[in-house]
Copies of this chain bind each other. A is one copy, B any other.
Amino acid sequence: MKSPEQKQFYSITELTREFGVSTRTIRFYEDEGLIQPVRRGRTRLFKPSDRRLLMLIMRGKRLGFSIAEIREIIAIYKEPPGEVGQLKLLVQRVSEKRDQLQQKRKDIDETIAELDQVEEQSLTRMAELGVGT
């Protein structure tokens, strides 16, 4: 049931092209412990799971999360089932991150609303000046 497009391994430059970052950046994320590609000799081999982690990292970056915060998010996903205390803590951490994200969404919605206003005023003004879009 494997997808036919699913590659075993990706090279570092394949990934730099896909994500639009440099090799330095990807190696930096490895140094920071966000990904752990296996090696064949000295050469890094990236599995699909590494690629998915990179996607997650890029998403985090777009949202303005620092490396440290992205590390936290990754830790949440990686958390093994564990025992009760751990689970409670995990649920709590999830809740905190969600709060952060909801604040961001609120900020976004406000900003978009304001931009919509600016746009509307501009279009009105242009109509007054007798201009078609």
- Which chain A residues have a beta carbon within 8 Å of chain B's beta carbons? 59, 62-65, 73, 76-77, 79, 81, 84, 87-88, 90-91, 94-95, 97-98, 101-105, 107-112, 114-116, 118-119, 122-123, 125-126, 129, 131
Contact = CB atoms under 8 A, between A and B. Distances in A.
B108 A104 contact: yes
A16 to B, nearest CB: 21
Copies of this protein, total:
2
SS class of chain A's interface: helix, strand, loop or mixed?
Answer: helix
Contact of A101 (B108, B119, B122): B108
A91 B119 contact: yes
Nearest to A91: B122
Contacts of A104: 62-63, 104, 108
